[in-house]
Amino acid sequence: MKYSVLDLCPVNEGENAAQALQNAISLAQHVENLGFPRIWYAEHHNLQGIASAATSIIMGQVLAKTTKIVVGAGGVMLPNHSPLVIAEQFGTLEALFPGRVELGLGRAPGTDQLTAHALRRHLDGNSDNFPSDVVELLNYFNDDKCALKVQAVPGSGSHIPVWILGSSLFGAQLAAALGLPYAFASHFAPVELMRALFVYREQFKPSDFLPKPIAMAALNVVVAQTDEEAKYLFSSQQQAFANLRTGNAGKLPAPVMHYTENLNPQLQAMLSQSLSCSIIGSVATVREKLRQFENDVSADQYIITSMIYDHEKRKNSFTLFADVLSNA
Distance CA 306, CA 317 (A): 8
What are the structural domains of the chain? 3-216+299-326 (3.20.20.30), 217-298 (no CATH)
When pLDDT is averaged across residues 53-75 and rounded to a whole number, the result is: 97
pLDDT, one tens digit per residue, over 217-249 is 999 999 999 999 999 999 999 999 999 999 999
When pLDDT is averaged across residues 138-165 and rounded to a whole number, the result is: 86
When pLDDT is averaged across residues 147-162 and rounded to a whole number, the result is: 88
User: Cα 3 from chain centroid?
Assistant: 12
Instruction: Give bridge partners of residue 77 from the DSSP assignment.
Output: 106
pLDDT, one tens digit per residue, over 11-31 is 999 999 999 999 999 999 999
More confident residue, 6 or 262: 6
Contact indicator for 276, 190 with CB cutoff of 8 Å: yes
Q: What is the pLDDT of residue 112?
A: 59
The alpha carbon dihedral of 292, 6, 237, 254 has a sign of: positive
Q: What is the pLDDT of residue 149?
A: 79
More confident residue, 79 or 116: 79
Residue 57 vs residues 47, 63, 86, 309: alpha-carbon distances, Å: 18, 10, 12, 23
- Greatest mean pLDDT among 139-143, 156-160, 278-282 lies in 278-282
The CB-based long-range contact list for 141-146 (8 Å cut-off, 24+ gap) reads: 141/87, 141/91
Confidence of residue 296 (pLDDT cuts 50, 70, 90): very high
- Asked if residue 133 has pLDDT above 80, the reply is yes
Confidence of residue 302 (pLDDT cuts 50, 70, 90): very high
Confidence of residue 142 (pLDDT cuts 50, 70, 90): confident
Residue 61 vs residues 41, 67, 105, 162, 250: alpha-carbon distances, Å: 12, 12, 20, 20, 25
Contact indicator for 227, 214 with CB cutoff of 8 Å: no
Q: The pTM is what?
A: 0.93
Q: What is the pLDDT of residue 160?
A: 95
From the list 303, 309, 318, the residue with the least C-alpha distance to 255 is: 309
Distance CA 34, CA 31 (A): 5
From the list 184, 286, 293, the residue with the least C-alpha distance to 233 is: 286
